[in-house]
A and B are shown apart, each in its own frame.
Chain A
């Protein structure tokens, strides 16, 4: 009937309208490496999402300003996910085949990562989830297309306990302590639980779980419980407004901020800046970098991108924590392409499969990093076919009331703790999906 006709006309109409319109700008030709950019600049997590997105896009612009990847220019397109899984999937579908195919996806959402993990192997596009996503996906033998580079939540949990142990004066002192985990009630927040419970058993401390419902603006009851139980430390596994609310409630219930520790997603300027003095003494893990306004790469961005009026975000946010995270994430993707070019031909556009090889053989030593302007921002990272995480260097930084300052040495996650759980979880996944793990021989191809 007409209904269906109308519907289909509407559908095709919408498509016909959108097809020519979404065609890339005239610049984009097959000679460009296309970077799809999934971002969220609206919705409940916009504040944090935009900073990351600005950093990501600015780095791509910087690479272009410096002449591209061995001469190959980068094209990119943003797509708004609003941190919602179904919109993220739509964006992925929209961008994956565009302009010669997406190079690498970085969804900045654990939920979207879970959904794309099922799709990436089919489309042969690698997924970089630097500092988030599925923790067990560091096992490259099974998660062939996932790259949780630099660190996973399990690394974060392990290092947080290491840091606390150090503050207390050794792991033996952890015995009988109470550690509360205040977490975002979603896959993201739940990731660290198995590691914490495992460590709790080993060292004899008590783990108390306190979930906070999305988006995390109502935490009064949570902090009343903390006040009652008086845990020795509080780990904060929040995102967006949940972090600042937690700090405000901690202030309101008088919980000492210097006994609170956040994951690297709970340790950026938007989380603390409007609590300001109230958050003084609060520390958070860092994914290697903190706020790096003085690093060379930031100066490059300011000089080559912002000075020409091409900056994506406000200039005063350049170099802040989440901005740097976006910058670093983009850099890892670009370096994956560069590495792939070494093998498959310099100055050529790489396919998703080739980029995956590049990411699996990433070897950024300190010299390379220094040359790119990342001196002091991050440490070397080397991946392999079986290890998709690379290195897991973590520092701790503390909010002094007006800015973040590093307050610890470098930590590294304890392989003895992480590895068994990674193997266990990933082989469970492989069983479910009937995936055969790659052998070292297959990796050599």
Chain B
């Protein structure tokens, strides 16, 4: 009913191959993007921006990157936090060392540096696979943690090893209010999401998926694993690195390597697996789930306790939060191992027939 596609005929290849072949999808997504750009800044208060929306946007961008590597190319990584760190610190160095470099350039150069480092740490993937690779990527994680702590050059010789940026402006537009930060991140995310979607639909994306599904078979039909795997590492690290630069510059404004610790890597992997491997949408779902759930639980549980007349201590709340978070993750994995994205597409299938299923 809501989702009837009757009468939508494709008369050209272009129409058949567009990102959203169904008109409802197209309009809905446009409406939502428009709402995100116009409506949200009017409606939402500062706390939501700073504590939820901005982190969500940035982490969604990072999750997109991780999904390209894990979901589309099948290379499990536990080192995503490392590439965020590389992106953030590289962007920082470009920002302070090159006079008058536009902010946008610093951020993108940060992403590019991260891509180069990503290629380097992707080399083991040519030999090692699966869980062995996952653990091997931890090497990148701990190594970058150490480098940014130990080499003073990267942190501009700050005594404490913590760096900070301020007075961010882009073409005369000062990025300091929550709304401007939000819009800046949103613009990034929109463009990058489109980029990712298109990349996964074209030749290179197909190569990645072929490698993911069966690398030996892919090789037999003429796909070069070296190129496919390393390009996935590069693109993924570029996304993740840019996200890292945004995380440092826009969200935290002052950071230390601990902001990109191994926990961050786990968190990102969680996002893509809960959201849905190999799904652009899934990255958004996953990021929303992982960003919002702990905060919501943290605020919701004391109130729940209040309803029953129990006042829960802060420690109790955090423990309960941990337990609920873990349990929900297990629940989701059991109910839908393919992630929230799959739930959504099942829902869509149902909606096509609703209210008259077979």
Please determine if A and B sit in direct contact within the complex, based on CB atoms under 8 angstroms apart.
yes
On whether the beta carbons of B315 and A114 are closer than 8 Å, the reply is: no
Chain B residues whose C-beta falls within 8 Å of the C-beta of A400 in the assembled complex: none
CB-based contact A18/B300 at 8 Å? yes
Q: Are B162 and A187 in contact (CB under 8 A)?
A: yes
CB distance from A63 to the nearest CB of B (A): 20
Across the interface, name the chain A residue whose C-beta is closest to B316: A41
Interface residue range, chain B: 35 or more
Docked-complex contact A11 and B256, CB < 8 angstroms: no
Whether, in the assembled complex, B224 has its beta carbon less than 8 Å from a beta carbon of chain A, the answer is no
**C-beta contact mask, B20-53 vs A, less than 8 Å → 1, else 0?**
1000010011001101100000000011101111
Judge if B334 is at the interface, Cβ distance under 8 Å.
no
> Is the beta-carbon distance between A434 and B149 smaller than 8 angstroms?
no
B115 to chain A, nearest CB (A): 24
Assess A42 versus B315: contact at CB under 8 Å? Given A7-B284, A191-B160: yes
Residue B233 lies at the interface, judged by CB distance under 8 Å to chain A: no
Cβ-based interface call for B170 (8 A)? no
What residues on B are CB-neighbors of A86 within 8 Å?
A: 55, 251-252, 259
| A79 CA / B302 CA spacing, docked (Å) | 11
A89 proximal to B (CB < 8 A) = yes
Q: Is A18's CB under 8 angstroms from B256's CB?
A: no
Q: How far is the CA of A110 from the CA of B149 in the complex (A)?
A: 15
Instruction: Report B338-349 CB contacts with A as 1/0, cut-off 8 Å.
Output: 000100100110
Q: Tell me the smallest distance from the CB of A163 to a CB of chain B, in Å.
A: 22
B16 CB within 8 Å of chain A: no
Instruction: Please give, as numbers and ranges, the residues of chain A lying within 8 Å of B251 by CB-CB distance.
Output: 86, 89
Docked-complex contact A114 and B254, CB < 8 angstroms? yes
B98 touches A (CB below 8 Å):
no
Q: In the bound complex, do residue A85 and residue B258 qualify as a contact, i.e. CB atoms below 8 Å apart?
A: yes
Count of inter-chain pairs, beta carbons less than 8 A: 161
B18: chain A residues at CB < 8 Å are none
Given contacts A1-B29, A3-B281, A78-B314, contact A14 B252 (CB under 8 A): no
Binds A, one of B71-79, B124-132, B288-296: B288-296
Closest to A433 in B: B166
* Chain B residues near A434 (CB-CB < 8 A): 166-167
Beta-carbon contact of A118 and B318 below 8 Å: no
List, in ascending order, chain B residues with CB within 8 A of A134's CB: 160
Contacting B at CB under 8 A, from A74-131, are: 78-80, 82, 84-86, 89-90, 93-94, 97, 110-111, 114-115, 117-119, 122
In the bound assembly, the distance between CA atoms of A39 and B317 in angstroms comes to: 12
Task: Provide the bound-state CA to CA distance between A425 and B160, in Å.
Answer: 11
Determine how close the nearest CB of chain A comes to the CB of B46; give it in whole angstroms.
Answer: 7
Residue B159, interface by CB 8 Å: yes
Do residues A97 and B46 form an inter-chain contact, with CB atoms below 8 A?
A: yes
**Alpha-carbon distance between A80 and B258 when the two chains are bound, in angstroms:** 17
Q: Closest CB of chain A to B32's CB: distance in Å? A: 4
The interface residues of chain A lying within 8 Å CB-to-CB of B36 are 4
Answer whether residue B285 sits at the interface, using C-beta atoms and an 8 A cutoff.
yes
Residues from chain A with a CB closer than 8 A to the CB of B254 are: 114-115, 117-118
Is the pair A1, B252 in contact by a Cβ cutoff of 8 Å? no
Interface centre among B176, B298, B322 (most CB of A within 10 A): B298
B259 touches A41 (CB 8 A): no
List the B side residues contacting A41 at CB < 8 Å: 313-315, 318
Question: With contacts A2-B348, A41-B314 known, is A97 near B159, CB below 8 A?
Answer: no
| Contact pattern, A 431-442, Cβ under 8 Å of B = 1, otherwise 0 | 011100000000
> On chain A, which size bracket covers the interface?
35 or more
Residues on B with C-beta less than 8 A from A89 are: 50-51, 251-252
Chain B residues positioned under 8 Å from A2 (CB to CB): 28, 344, 347-348
Q: From residue 1 to 33 of chain A, which have CB atoms closer than 8 A to chain B?
A: 1-8, 10-11, 14-15, 17-18, 21-22
Tell me how far the C-beta of B91 lies from the nearest C-beta in chain A, rounded to whole angstroms: 15
Known: A7-B288, A89-B252, A191-B160. A17 touches B32 (CB 8 A): no
Of listed A11, A17, A122, residue having the most chain B CB within 10 A: A11
A35 to B168, CA, bound (A): 31
Q: Is B303 engaged at the interface, CB distance under 8 Å to the other chain?
A: yes
A53, A79, A82, A85: which contacts B255 (Cβ < 8 A)? A85
B303 to chain A, nearest CB (A): 3
Given A3-B281, A15-B48, A85-B252, A10 contacting B292 (CB threshold 8 A): yes
Specify which chain A residues have a CB less than 8 angstroms from the CB of B161 in the assembled complex.
186-187, 190
| Residue from A7, A46, A434 with most neighbouring chain B CB atoms (10 Å) | A7
B198 within 8 Å of A (CB atoms): no
B180 lies within 8 A of chain A by Cβ: no
Q: In this assembly, does A351 line the interface, its C-beta being within 8 Å of a C-beta of chain B?
A: no
**CB of A42 to closest CB in B, whole Å:** 4
- Within 8 Å by CB of B253, from A4, A80, A94, A118, lies A118
Residues of A within 8 A of B300 (CB): 17-18, 21
Q: How far is the CA of A310 from the CA of B86 in the complex (A)?
A: 48
Q: Are A93 and B47 in contact (CB under 8 A)?
A: yes
Asked whether B164 is an interface residue with its Cβ less than 8 Å from the other chain, the reply is yes
A214 at the binding interface (Cβ < 8 Å):
yes
Pairs A-B, 5 closest by C-beta atoms:
A21-B303, A41-B315, A187-B160, A4-B32, A18-B299
Q: Interface of B with A (CB < 8 Å)?
A: 20, 25, 28-29, 32-33, 35-36, 46-48, 50-53, 55-56, 96, 146, 149-150, 159-162, 164, 166-167, 176, 251-256, 258-259, 261, 263, 281, 284-285, 288, 292, 295-296, 298-300, 302-304, 306, 313-315, 317-319, 322, 341, 344, 347-348
**Sample of 6 more A-B contacts, CB < 8 Å, known A3-B284, A18-B296:** A3-B341, A80-B314, A89-B251, A90-B51, A115-B252, A214-B261
A-B contact pairs, 6 of them (CB 8 A): A2-B344, A4-B29, A97-B46, A115-B253, A119-B253, A432-B96
